[in-house]
Amino acid sequence: MSRHLLSIDDLGAEGIEEVLKLADSFVEVSHRDIARVPALRGKTVVSLFYEDSTRTRLSFETAARRLSADTMTFSVSTSSVKKGESLRDTVQTIDAMGVDAIVVRHRSAGVPHQVAHWSTSAVINAGDGWHEHPTQALLDCYTIRQRLGGVAGKHIAIVGDIKHSRVARSNILAFTALGADVTIVAPPTLLPPSLAGWPVTVSHDLDAVLPKVDVVYLLRLQNERMTEALLPSAREYTARYGLTRARAALLADDAIVMHPGPMNRGVEIAAEVADLPSSVITQQVANGVAVRQAVLFLLLGSGASRAA
């Protein structure tokens, strides 16, 4: 693995497989009475989150602690960012304290690359604007493999606000790298202006796609990123693109329902569909810890390739 995890492209199929394989052993450890191992004792992992997060930040911090690393949380609302400190100065301040990894989330695409340039730590992208969210894609690949035996040859529909979704971008890269067929399903206003180079099929007809897929992956409407009205109303969206109970019945018996969270129950997914046995949403969260342990270990553990 390279020194940072900024994009799924940093890994390729081989790198993804390496993470998933190592995550298996951390899942195994998580079932023991004491889930903690000493692998990263003496290392410090800091989370630098400029955007809201529940599961991603807690998941990284849990992963770091299970590896016996020390953790620090940087909270924008109580930091000197409020006094006008620049991102660069903040990063260099944190770096000067001798941290080993910076987990960064920011509303702008490319910030993790900048942070990697300014600091001497390993940098992990925990979501940058509309761009990428690589550890989400890894935990999703892990969950599909766990439930369906593998990703290769599976047909996966990603449904909803593709335009603003960093999850969609990372997941399309990861799913196709592992040999899945991906169909994106969205109203034209929620697709990127150009899909040139995207290795996907596009559909606007969810009812026609659902019977054919192994996985339906739902996305939240990213209202905070919409600068104009792209939909007539949430109700209209649900009527055409929501996974209602009736639509879920179109799925094959062994197909699974996924969502990165946070869900808007009743909008992109019906409340009761999120709780069906075919829904693996809480497994995604559980697997996220082991997958992030694998990423941290590969970047910081004894075998990690460190820059001089």
> Which residues make up the interface to ligand NCD (CB under 6 A)?
55-56, 127, 133, 136, 166-167, 220, 260-261
Among residues 110 and 261, whose Cβ is nearest to ligand NCD?
261
Shortest CB 133 distance to ligand NCD, Å: 5
Residue 3 is a catalytic residue: no
Q: Residues 66, 105, 145, 166: which is the catalytic one? A: 105
78 labelled catalytic: no
Residue 123 Cα to chain centre, angstroms: 15
The two beta strands, 201-203 and 155-159, are unpaired
Q: Tokens representing 64?
A: 């770091």
Catalytic residue among 4, 66, 106, 133: 133
Shortest Cβ contact with ligand NCD: which residue?
220
Give catalytic status of residue 265 as yes or no: no
Query: Given the complex with ligand NCD, which of 11 and 162 has the nearer CB atom?
Result: 162
Secondary structure (DSSP) of 67-106: TT-EEEEEEGGGSGGGGT--HHHHHHHHHHTT-SEEEEEE
- Nearer CB in complex with ligand NCD: 218/273: 218
Options 31, 32, 82, 83, the catalytic residue: 83
Distance CA(138)–CA(130), nearest Å, equals: 17
In whole angstroms, the minimum distance from the beta carbon of 119 to ligand NCD comes to 22
Q: Quick one: which of 21, 20, 2, 3 has its CA closest to 11?
A: 2
Best CA proximity match to 161, nearest among 226, 235, 77: 226
- Cβ distance to ligand NCD smaller for residue 45 or 258: 258
* Least CB distance to ligand NCD at residue 167 (A): 5
The CA distance from 42 to 296, in Å, is: 13
CB atoms within 10 A of CB 134: 29
Is 154 annotated in the active site?
no
Q: How many CB atoms lie within 10 A of CB 30?
A: 16
CB of residue 293 to ligand NCD, shortest distance in Å: 17
Q: Which element (helix H / strand E) includes 167? A: helix 166-177
State which residue, 166 or 292, has the beta carbon closest to ligand NCD.
Answer: 166
Q: Point out the catalytic residue in the list 43, 44, 56, 259.
A: 56
Distance CA 125, CA 1 (A): 14
Shortest spacing between CB 249 and ligand NCD, in angstroms: 25
55 is a catalytic site residue = yes
List active site positions.
55-56, 83, 105, 133
